[in-house]
Amino acid sequence: MKAAVRHCYGSPDVVRYEDIPKPSPKDNEVLVRVHAASVNPLDWHELEGTPYLVRMDDGFGKPDNPRLGVDFAGTVEAVGKSVTRFKPGDEVFGGRDGAFAEYVTVREARAIALKPASVTFEQAASVPIAAITALQALRDKGHIHAGQKVLINGASGGVGTFAVQIAKSFGAEVTGVCSTKNVDMVRSLGADHVIDYTREDFTAGTQHYDLIVDNVATHSLLAYKRVLNPNGSYVMIGMIDTGNWFGWLAKPIEGMVLSKLVSQKFGMMLADLNHDDLAVLGDLMQSGKVTPVIERRYKLSEAGEALRYLEKGHARGKVVVMVE
């Protein structure tokens, strides 16, 4: 089968489009014919092996697994003898290492769920990492509830476009922060207020928020504190510059210390891909409360270019890789 792979760490220039062995499902696994995949910052961190802590999982000198990608959507081709929730022909979506390929195997109990009939493969493939990150940041870490004032910093990216819609589904009053060119798009997602960061610094304003979900970490924690309500929460789920070593840990550690000294809570989170939350997101898409935003589409043979584009940091919504 064809797949996008890399045999060393590096820029998108090291990505190759090659033939690799087609996997066979184990007793507890599902074999999926991939129709679409999507690109996340995680993918280019693993491609480049940075921050270097990534290599503790992926291999120090070179990647242990040459395959790339996580998010996928496709059709079940075969199932192991112990599988009961899926059957050949089912349309599914989920997350599994090696998604930039014609086939992927996934354990039945892990991150795989039935795709809603009204959702395209492209849309479903854009969901797993980004939408689960948004959902868990708002619901589990931020403890969102109806009537709260919620600000999404970096509202036009992959996670941000989902976060705006999911926050609205919880009944929150949502403010999105983005650049000038994305203001109309973020407003179209349901944001009650949109702030153009090139014209206004929300941390210097008079409006206060119950919850801030931060995709870009563009301000200091003390700046965020100024616009949080007394019992408000700040959740960091991304940053523009992670550094090669431990720089990305500085703000979470600072947040842990600050949370002990003030009434507000400051923290970060990493997504936990799981079947239940994929099902929740499937229901939100089926009901029309969440619609994935897809900016660009690339062929599987162009996966390196898809990664290169995402790394520039200006993607509106999601970037999808078409496998068909």
Q: Domain check: are 133 and 262 in the same one?
A: yes
CB 216 within 8 A of CB 153: yes
Q: Domain check: are 150 and 122 in the same one?
A: no
pTM across the whole model: 0.92
Q: Domain check: are 141 and 229 in the same one?
A: yes
Q: Domain check: are 10 and 120 in the same one?
A: yes
Q: What residues have CB less than 8 Å from 230, skipping those under 6 apart? A: 263, 264
Q: Tell me the CA distances in angstroms from 58 to 12, 79, 273, one per residue in order.
A: 17, 27, 18
Q: How far apart are CA 109 and CA 82, in angstroms?
A: 11
Task: Read off the pLDDT of each residue in 167-175 and give the average, rounded to a whole number.
Answer: 98
CATH code where residue 186 lies: 3.40.50.720
In a domain? residue 99: yes
In a domain? residue 284: no
Helices (H) then strands (E): counts for the chain: 10, 15
52-108 pLDDT, tens digit each: 565 556 656 677 789 999 999 999 999 999 999 999 999 999 999 999 999 999 999
In a domain? residue 274: no
Task: Read off the pLDDT of each residue in 22-46 and give the average, rounded to a whole number.
Answer: 95
In a domain? residue 279: no
> Which has the closest alpha carbon to 224: 202, 239, 241?
202
Q: Which two tokens stand for residue 138?
A: 């708002």
Q: Backbone dihedral region of 92: left (phi > 0), alpha (psi from -120 to 50 degrees) or beta?
A: beta
Asked if the model's pLDDT at residue 239 lies above 80, the reply is no
CATH code where residue 11 lies: 3.90.180.10
Q: Which two tokens stand for residue 289?
A: 């409360």
Q: Domain check: are 181 and 73 in the same one?
A: no
271-287 pLDDT, tens digit each: 999 999 999 999 999 99
In a domain? residue 304: yes
Taking the CA of residue 81 as centre, how many other CA atoms within 13 Å lie in the half-sphere pointing to its CB? 0
Q: What residues have CB less than 8 Å from 70, skipping those under 6 apart? A: 40, 42, 43, 95, 96, 97, 99, 128, 129, 273
Q: Domain check: are 136 and 257 in the same one?
A: yes
User: What domain count does the chain have?
Assistant: 2
Q: How far apart are CA 247 and CA 41, in angstroms?
A: 17
Asked if the model's pLDDT at residue 157 lies above 80, the reply is yes
Q: Domain check: are 16 and 61 in the same one?
A: yes
In a domain? residue 287: no
Asked if the model's pLDDT at residue 184 lies above 90, the reply is yes
Q: How far apart are CA 72 and CA 115, in angstroms?
A: 11
For residue 285, give the 3-state DSSP assignment. helix
Q: Domain check: are 21 and 121 in the same one?
A: yes
Q: Domain check: are 122 and 135 in the same one?
A: no
Alpha-helix runs per DSSP H in 137-265: 158-169, 183-188, 221-226, 250-261
Q: Domain check: are 155 and 238 in the same one?
A: yes
pLDDT class of 37 with cuts at 50, 70, 90: very high
In a domain? residue 275: no
The pLDDT of residue 133 is 97
Q: Domain check: are 44 and 87 in the same one?
A: yes
In a domain? residue 296: yes
Q: Domain check: are 105 and 162 in the same one?
A: no
192-227 pLDDT, tens digit each: 999 999 999 999 999 999 999 999 999 999 999 999
Q: Could you list the residue range(s) of the whole structural domain that residue 200 is in?
A: 129-268
Looking at residue 158, the DSSP 8-state letter turns out to be: H
